[in-house]
Structure 1
Amino acid sequence: MAEAEWDKNSNELELDLLTNVQKEFNKKNYEACLKILDQQGSGNQISEFKNHHNKAIVKFYMSNCKDYKNLLEFLVEHVAKFKGSSNEAKYSISTACYNMAVIYYQLRKPYAALEILNTIVNKIEDLDESIGCRIGLLMLSLLLQVNQVKKAVSFLKVLEKQLKICIENFTVEEYSSVDDVNGTDRMFRLMSLLTSIVNQNFVNVPEDGSAEFAVLKAHSYYVGKDFQMAAKQLSKKFTASWCPTINHGENEDTVISNNMGVIHLRVRHYAIAARFFQNAIQFDLKMSENWKNLSLHNMGASKMPEIMYNLGISMLHLQRPKDAFDCFLIPLKIYYKNPRLWLRVAESCIMFYEKNNTEIDKNRIVSSVIGTGIHRKYVLEPSPKIKFSEDGQSSAIPNPNLEFAALCLRNAVSLVESYKHKFITSENLDGMESDRVWNEVNDNNFCSPSIPVNKEAFDNLRAAIYAASSYVSIKLGDFVIALEYAKTLLELENLSDAYTMLGNLYCAESLVMLNRLVEARVHLEPKIVKNSNYFDFETRLWQLNSLEAAQAVIKYNLVVILVLQGEFDVAKAFLTTFTHPVVMNKVKLLKMYIEVATGKF
């Protein structure tokens, strides 16, 4: 929370006044504080600023920490006056800068808070110990909040040196009792353990009976992939009460429900995960139902965007695309630079299209058969019209249709291509880490609120975006664009077997629609999936759970091209070799078409 500034270097009279102010402030007697501050005489510019700053803080607390706008307006106006001033002036406004950063932190504007703290954090050893520790803790919290986890490790080492703190003492089992440490040391202990855990390092989290350490221990189990123990840890009845929301801006039920949902999501219990996320949303809404009367430290307590992101993922797995789409729109307002989130929105649109426009009884293409033998005739059903958008609405308006999916995927492509040049591999980091100061350490945190991505995950993300882009372009009839996306997909590094197959299929389909049949045949050679790992194809929508199924799909599409080229005899001979059930319905229809086209029954 915002801090007042008690100057210990003042003269004896001013020091007595400030001592009395601090006593009254600690007693929450704010009116008395203002009266004493009014007695303080005028001095130089810095002294007057401190006096006005303290009055602003007292008035802020008088409003029950709700009138943050006036405080922030005062801080922005007066701190700007000291930019470029002497070092003495800069150090004197460190508390004011800290207060500004706290306000932005609680308003969920972490990058604005980081920008402010970066101007003072490297000089915290010259500040008062209390404010120096608070600045360090806030900086560490902000780095973790924006998923700059490697930078947080480097900064923790800086704090250890500048504040003369032994971080190792915070991770040993003997240093376990809450009563043995003060509040600041306990926070450093929590943050140091959390920093190690999010960096995938094993640490022994002690049991001290508090909910904070219990949740932290569950987090360590989760990182270690011991999901059963993580769920068991969260299910405990804590001996110490959780810090109430009204005082500390944290809600036990919301945190635990969300974490339990994440655990079940990780082990593919999607329905159970969705139920936990829905419970977390209810707890979060109940906490913030009277938003206008919330104090500053409750403003940032809501975890709604992150929970809705998690619920959207669950809904996608549960084949509920419209619900997933509605969920993703909420975090999209905050995490609009996350290419993975744009992809998830597009996937919701694609699934909604598939469920509402392609659920057609394929067997009814032939409505009836008249006659037998060589006199047999087929009566075909008229082709159904595909509806791409609803009610003639613009594709710019968020709706789960393919037009909006195309917009989302364009954003995703632009983002991953820009991040591609910023991506730092682990090999590069190993060679540069020792030569860099803490604020030059790079994290591949392109997908907040998700954890930083490694090279393999980033390559898979790019492949998924280009594959989805090609598919949507084909469905919208943009075959030239679809071909470009598919070719780009095939040129990516470390492309998995599944995406190699998709890239070739989309290239072939686009070329067929562009009447470039000879080029399309190149992408449908059976050898394309000769050495594929069938585990890559395990998706319920594809129904491709084996290498044989994948090869059957490739061969079937090759036969389609043979038919289009008029090679009916070769195509018919090929069709007799098909045995896999994944294509048998289509094979029967294609045989009927060949019989109708050739007149040979």
Structure 2
Amino acid sequence: MKSATEASSSSFNGSSSSSSSTSSSCSTSSDINELSKEAFTKHHFTKCAELLKKALDGIKSETERRRLHANLALCEAKSKAQLFSATYQAALLNIFPKLKPGEDHNLEDHDEAVAAFNLALNAFVRGNRRTCLEILQSVMTVNTLSDTLFCAVSLLEIDVSLTLCQPKLALKQAVKLRDSITWRRANVVQRDYLDCLECRIRCRLAQTSSLIDFTSKPELLHWCLIQSELDVKNGNATRAVNRLLKFRPSLQDEERRLVDNALGCVYALSLKKISLAESYFRSAMLVKQEKRKSWQESTVPRHCLIYHAALAQLHCGHAESAFTLFLSVLPFYPKQPRIWLRIAECCIYALTKNGNDNVDTNGQTIEIVGTAQNGYVILPSISVREDNLNNEVDEIRENHISWEYAAHCIRNALILTGTERDCVYLLPWLYAASSFINLNLGRYGLALKAACQLASLQQVSPHHKLMAVLFKAEALTLLDRLPEAVGCLAQAVPLQSMPSTISAVIYNRALLQALSGNLHKSLATFGLLGTQCDVTTVPEALSLGVYIYMKSDKDDEARHLIVQQIEKMKLS
């Protein structure tokens, strides 16, 4: 954030210098420009605004007046700590109408390029990455870019790529920037910022060794944070904590918030000490107004810290408290699909960890009500209404943990993801959650549809491919389409790195073979659960084994299996 603010400040200086050269014939105007530039550099934004208003009185050129109005808008935004607010965005769009969304962003001069960069920075901080990228691309088409602005735009492009989880693209952009002739004229701050970005890129690429010699770097906060991130990547979370704690006492209010936020993340995600994590998140939320300068914007907003605390709670298994925290910050992120997914995950975890996944939203048990030629058909005891098909984000009447609420959250997330290209990477998680939730709601057709959508995604991890197959097979089975389910499950490829997936595939194959009447083959498949020492047995394996033995008229084996399980329970 520090570099971003400096980039905006430098754009003001660039505009001011252009202004003074244009009106060099008027010594008074030139003096005012120099004084306003000096006031801005010293963070005397109120004085700077007064000087700019005075300069406007003697300027008749429309281009010059527009430039001064842009500088005045920047000055007022800085003085009110609103550089990254919608107010500053609206002010700039009023001065430069062609920068509005949907307009032709064919920038004509350097002034428009500077304004466009500030708009892109504003959009980036507010989470509108697609808008930011579109504006940056239009800025790069301007032939008269100054070296400072070119470097600032290039650095922001790299930052956006990192934020969009594209470290390889970010690395290519960083290499290209270093090789450019313009970069040789970059200032010290920009060079240091690129070093930071390259360290962050290597962290994302799981490169645990840095090419940067940290001993040659000054004792600055951003380098402390990057070293700590590398320590965590290397499995040295304790060293990261010690470094952050050592740095913490010397910091002022805003910088301490950053360190407290980092400490909370390390304690929650690496050391699994949720109480300490929560205490640091709470500390970061405290704001000492007397120490904060009026023009400083918060580096980590309070609602963002609460969101981090909620993530920590969810990661450590406290789904109910995480659910409450996510709901408290939902008004700040209503258009962000990620928070809707997180709330749904809280519901899923809370409902499944206590074995409540056999209960529908009305608290009535799902029962076996009939049999078909191929085996049991499981139906919900009451009919459940289908979701309405309009494309509006729902306002849900009762915000409580339930399968129905989870389904609404996933539906909202899918609608929002469809309108935001930045969030397309969430689709595998959303479709997987949708299928699982609809299975628990008894909406097997919707579960099948979501599983098919998950399987049809072009770029999806092996884990999600396996989940798509398992969910699809289960939905087909519950829809009494057993032959299709058997054929689907044949495509399942368990992950060697996750033993639980091996046992899940074995169990499901044995189950479908038993339901198909192929008891001999089912028994052989079921035996694999006990012969492979690295396989984690699924909880339902006992009842399946008893069912197969009894259907095969092997009552003694079924009885032995039950006795064996009872003895294991006594020992545990």
TM-score of the pair, normalised by structure 1: 0.61
1:214–1:234 CA contact under 8 A, matched in 2: yes
* Contact kept in structure 1, 2:407 and 2:438, CA below 8 Å: yes
Q: Is the Cα contact below 8 Å between 1:217 and 1:233 reproduced in 2?
A: no
Q: Structure 2 CA distance, aligned partners of 1:32 and 1:508? A: 67
| Contact kept in structure 2, 1:218 and 1:229, CA below 8 Å | no
| Secondary structure of residue in 1 paired with 2:275 | helix
CA distance in 2 between counterparts of 1:281 and 1:510 reads: 46
Match of 1:76 in 2: 93
Change (3 A) 1:85 1:48: farther
Match of 2:388 in 1: none
Deviation, 1:19, is 2.4
Deviations along 1:273-294, one digit per CA (max 9) or x if unpaired, are x33542343134213999xx99
| Amino acid corresponding to residue 119 of structure 1 in structure 2 | S
Q: Distance in 2 between matches of 1:284 and 1:387?
A: 48
Query: How far 1:213 sits from its partner (Å)?
Result: 1.0
Task: Give the Cα separation in 1 of the matches to 2:508 and 2:418.
Answer: 31
User: 2:105 touches 2:135 (CA, 8 Å); kept in 1?
Assistant: no
CA RMSD of superposed structures (Å): 5.7
Matched, 1:217 2:227: yes
Instruction: Spell out, residue by residue over 1:205-236, the C-alpha distance to the aligned partner (whole angstroms, 9 max, x if none).
Output: 4133222212112223444x443476356445
2:100 is the counterpart of 1:92: no
Aligned partner of 2:318 among 311, 320, 327? 320
Q: Secondary structure at the match of 2:247?
A: coil
Distance 2:514 2:306 in 1: 45
The answer as to whether partners of 1:357 and 1:387 remain within 8 angstroms in 2 is no
Indicate whether 1:203 and 2:215 are aligned. no
- The aligned counterpart of 2:247 is 238
Is the Cα contact below 8 Å between 1:125 and 1:163 reproduced in 2?
no
Q: Describe the shift of the 1:42–1:297 C-alpha distance in structure 2 as closer, same or farther (beyond 3 A).
A: same
Helix, strand or coil: the match of 2:246?
Answer: coil
- Residue 164 of structure 1 is matched in structure 2 by 182
Which AA in structure 2 matches 1:21? S
Asked if structure 2 preserves the Cα contact closer than 8 Å seen for 1:497 and 1:536, the reply is no
Give the aligned partner of residue 258 of structure 2: 252
Which of 52, 66, 69 aligns to 1:49? It is 66
Residue 151 of structure 1 and its aligned partner are, at CA, apart by: 4.5
Structure 1 pair 231/516, CA: closer, same or farther in 2 (3 Å)? same
- Following superposition, the deviation at residue 298 of structure 1 comes to 1.6
Alignment correspondent of 2:348: 350
Q: How does 1:541-552 map to 2 (within 5 A)?
A: 547=503, 551=506
The 8 Å contact of residues 510 and 523 in structure 2, kept in 1 or not, is answered as no
Q: 1:474 aligns with which of 417, 439, 443?
A: 439
Decide which of 480, 504, 510 is 1:555's aligned counterpart.
Answer: 510
Q: Deviations over 1:252-277 (max 9, x none)?
A: 3333224414xx62x5x54x2x3354
Q: Name 1:278's counterpart in structure 2.
A: 278
The equivalent of 2:391 in structure 1 is none
Distance 2:84 2:507 in 1: 67
Matched residue, 1:401: 402
Q: Is the 8 A contact 2:167 2:205 kept in 1?
A: yes
1:507 aligns with 2:505: no
Give, as a single letter, the amino acid of the residue that structure 1 aligns with 2:258.
Answer: E
Contact 1:470–1:482, Cα closer than 8 Å, also in 2: yes
Deviation at 1:501, TM superposition (A): 8.5
The structure-2 alpha-carbon separation of the partners of 1:136 and 1:508, relative to structure 1 and needing over 3 Å to count, comes to: closer
Conservation of the 8 A alpha-carbon contact between 2:106 and 2:138: no
Counterparts of 1:27-176 in structure 2, within 5 Å, are: 28=44, 30-31=46-47, 34=50, 38=54, 41-60=58-77, 63=80, 72-80=89-97, 90-123=109-142, 126-127=145-146, 129-130=147-148, 133-157=151-175, 159-160=177-178, 164-166=182-184
In structure 1, the partner of 2:297 is: 298
Secondary structure of the structure 1 residue equivalent to 2:109: helix
Distance 1:317 1:553, change over 3 A: farther
Query: In 2 relative to 1, CA 578–204 (structure 1 residues): closer, same or farther, beyond 3 Å?
Result: closer
**Once the two structures are superposed, what CA deviation does each residue of 1:340-367 show, in whole Å capped at 9, x if it has no partner?**
765544333233333567389xxxx9xx
The answer to whether the 8 A contact 1:353-1:401 is kept is yes
Q: Any conservation in 2 of the 1:467–1:503 contact (CA below 8 Å)? A: no
Q: Give CA-to-partner distance per residue, 1:403-440, whole Å, 9 cap, x none.
A: 23334445667789999xx9xxxxxxxxxxxxxxxxxx
Corresponding residue for 1:227?
Answer: 236
Structure 1 residues 336-391: Cα deviation after superposition (integer angstroms, max 9, x where no partner) = 565x765544333233333567389xxxx9xxxxxxxxxxxxxxxxxx989999xx
SS in 1 for 2:498: helix
Contact 1:117/1:139 (8 A) holds in 2: yes
Contact 1:24 1:33 in 2 (8 A): no
Contact 1:309 1:327 in 2 (8 A): yes
Distance 1:86 1:579 in 2: 62
Question: What's the % identity of the aligned pairs?
Answer: 16
Q: 1:282 to 1:571 in 2, by over 3 A?
A: same
The equivalent of 1:370 in structure 2 is none
Specify whether residues 532 and 195 from structure 1 end up closer, same or farther in structure 2 by C-alpha distance, changes over 3 A only.
closer
In the TM superposition, what are the counterparts of 1:385-396 in structure 2 within 5 Å? none
* Secondary structure of 1:287's aligned partner: coil
Q: Residue 91 of structure 1: CA displacement?
A: 1.6
How far apart, CA to CA, are the structure 2 residues paired with 1:497 and 1:187? 36
| Among 24, 27, 47, the residue aligned to 1:11 | 24
> What TM-score, normalized by structure 2, do the two folds share?
0.64
CA shift at 1:551, angstroms?
3.9
Deviations 1:137-189 (A, max 9, x none): 4554444444454444444455546673349xx9xxxxxxxxxx854543344
Measured in 1, the distance between the counterparts of 2:262 and 2:407 equals 37
- In structure 2, give the amino acid aligned to 1:536: M
Partner of 2:390: none
Please tell me whether the aligned partners of residues 313 and 322 of structure 2 are also in contact (alpha carbons under 8 angstroms).
yes
Tell me how far 1:32 sits from its aligned partner.
7.7
Aligned CA distance change for structure 1 residues 158 and 232 (closer, same or farther; 3 Å): same
Specify every segment of 5 or more residues in structure 2 that has no aligned partner in the other structure, as ranges: 359-364, 366-379, 386-393, 531-536, 560-572
1:484-523 to structure 2, matched below 5 A, reads 484-485=449-450, 500=466, 503=469, 507=473, 510-511=476-477, 513-515=478-480
Against the structure 1 CA distance between its residues 401 and 41, is the aligned structure 2 distance closer, same or farther, given a 3 Å change threshold? same
Are the aligned partners of 2:107 and 2:139 in contact in 1 as well (CA < 8 Å)?
no
Query: SS of the counterpart of 1:324?
Result: helix
The residue identity in structure 1 corresponding to 2:24 is N
| Counterpart AA for 1:301 | V
Query: Bigger shift: 213-222 or 234-243?
Result: 234-243
Q: Is 1:536–2:498 an aligned residue pair?
A: yes
